[in-house]
Structure 1
């Protein structure tokens, strides 16, 4: 009976992580989406694309899109972004927590940085395989502008149906290779940095307050989660951003003749180095930082506080 009860609690804890992650993901996208549109358009603009407007900087891009395309332009691809982020964060926290439990010999044992890295990498790979079609649609919807000559996609369902009809099922997994590298490395770096910085803050606070560091959910406040989320996100973005650019360029819609702009990841790398240099791999990093650093803070504040609320509810039962 005890073993059965323990398994039940473990399963409940995993779904609590998934729910908290999903709520956090939704809150993040709802606030930061216009910067995501700007980032995507900067990423694919290699100076040789004629169906995209040219923007001087992030404020100019937001102003230009708002003036020429209205609120719809700033929130292009919003539904797949909400769906993708909510599903991604929910699955990520779920897979990440399960991997940590599997690597941990006991609940009290703290995992090493290497095991945190392995857990985050595993979660990232699984999430990427589940969500790549959603991100593909989001990218294409965000790149639709009044300058486009081809028939536009009329939302998430129409985009999926059109892509499958015109390009086949395999097209839904364009950009999967850089996507896997991105998800595995980005998530691994972010969560490892988050966990290690969290240990440092908890140790400092537990010494100051003479409280057992096992109860770190009582020691840490929302401001701590905000700092942890932002710091870990900056580290992850700086180290993995080129994968985002490669993926976005691969996920562009083919020409009206059905010819893709880039054939594969290596083609993107060669062409980018040839025409733009190393800086081409960091196009759009400013709106990316503006979007994702505060977004990471929001995500972890929401996630940790939803998790606390669920824990408190469970203890009362």
Structure 2
């Protein structure tokens, strides 16, 4: 029964994750671009090339319209295919192992109660450990997919940066009188006419492999593993809140202690909000590492690893750099998590009802 319960949760998690991903993907694309955009502290302006963006970034809604205007609707859904694969794999793996370890934790708590230790329930620390183990397995198995998704989401942004560097080189050459003014205008016009190249999953995979080999597919895995505390905090709040609701209803001696879809939605939103705010800086570092490193200009735009990224972000951008796009992420992740939890719980209920019906049919046929 516990095995079928784990499978039901794995399948439901994958289904809920896909639905939530499709609905909120445009926000996720814009958020990734916000996270990977470098903005200097005012007193550090001279340390990076003039082509780097140092102006205040536009709001989320304006950025969405800008992407649609310059890249079409497809720009908002760049990398959607591998993202859906990653979501299905990630949620399926996570919820499967989460349920497996959750069942073990419940069994251990029950056994401890029999021996006179504890009240038979899994405490907050227990939920934290269960979620952390499931999350670590998920990160190690699915990180390559998210590297490709990040590359595809930020490809146009990286191409624009490269183009800006080329234009700056041409202007510098013109100021040094190595090329004629008319030639400069012609070259700039030619660069402006170039559109970002089509960028598919295979192209992204080849680029990652050519840059860093197989190891490149696990870029950002260190902050990603540390970020396991995000779903750990999320599920600790989620499970504890649901347990509190059921206990409260049981104390009032209400006949039905089940949780409604709306209550699951609200509890999921609160849980994700708390987890997102506390771990967002790690998400920014992970996105920076997984995105295509800037070509040309100062080395401060490129990161060799997690520690290097953290030091350079503190030095050149200050603490605000670690919270870029957080408001977008809060809206996207909280809404996505709420939809995921709600859909998952309904799918689990449907799966268990079907399982019970199939068992009755089999028993009737055998009798």
Partner deviation per Cα, 1:61-113 (whole Å, 9 max, x = no partner): 11111111111111111112111111111111111111112222269743111
Matches of 2:294 and 2:324, distance apart in 1: 22
1:315 — aligned with what?
356
Moved over 4 A (4+): 48-54, 106-109, 148-153
Q: Cα 1:153–1:111, aligned 2, differ >3 Å: closer, same or farther?
A: farther
Q: Contact 1:80 / 1:137 at 8 angstroms: preserved in 2?
A: yes
Is 1:113 aligned to 2:115, yes or no? no
Aligned to 1:223: 262
Task: Select the residue among 146, 170, 185 that pairs with 1:135.
Answer: 146
- Bigger drift between 184-193 and 162-171 goes to 162-171
1:275 aligns to 2:325 (yes or no): no
Give the C-alpha shift of residue 203 in structure 1. Answer: 2.2
In 1, are the aligned partners of 2:155 and 2:199 still within 8 Å (CA)? no
> CA–CA distance in 2 between the matches of 1:62 and 1:44?
16
Where structure 2 has 5 or more consecutive residues not aligned to the other structure, the ranges are 40-47, 111-119, 164-195, 360-367
Aligned to 2:172: none
The equivalences for 1:236-315 within 5 A come to 236-255=275-294, 261-315=302-356
- Distance in 2 (alpha carbons) for counterparts of 1:252 and 1:169: 16
Structure 1 residue 138: Cα displacement: 0.6
Q: In 2 relative to 1, CA 196–22 (structure 1 residues): closer, same or farther, beyond 3 Å?
A: same
1:69-148 equivalent positions in 2, closer than 5 A: 69-105=71-107, 109-145=120-156, 147=160
Cα contact 2:208–2:216 (8 A) shared by 1: yes
Q: Distance in 1 between matches of 2:124 and 2:74?
A: 43
Residue matched to 2:240: 196
Q: Name the CA shift for 1:61/1:237 in 2 (closer, same or farther; >3 Å).
A: same
Between the aligned partners of 1:67 and 1:51, the Cα distance in structure 2 is: 22
Report the secondary structure of 2:155's partner residue. Answer: coil
SS in 2 for 1:23: helix
- Which residue of the other structure, out of 29, 51, 58, is the alignment partner of 1:37? 29
Partner of 2:43: none
Q: TM-score, normalised by structure 1?
A: 0.88
The structure number with the bigger radius of gyration is: 2
Scaled by the length of structure 2, what TM-score is found? Answer: 0.77
C-alpha RMSD of the superposition:
2.3
Count of residues paired in the alignment: 302
Using a 3 Å threshold, how does the CA distance of structure 1 residues 270 and 176 change in structure 2: closer, same or farther?
A: same
Distance 1:64 1:54 in 2: 15
Q: Cα 1:103–1:204, aligned 2, differ >3 Å: closer, same or farther?
A: closer
Q: Could you tell me whether the CA contact under 8 Å between 1:194 and 1:229 is conserved in 2?
A: yes
**Residue number in structure 1 paired with 2:9:** 17
CA distance in 2, matches of 1:311, 1:270: 50
Deviates more, 1:82-91 or 1:268-277: 268-277
Identify the match of residue 271 of structure 2 among 221, 232, 252: 232
Moved more, 199-208 or 116-125: 199-208
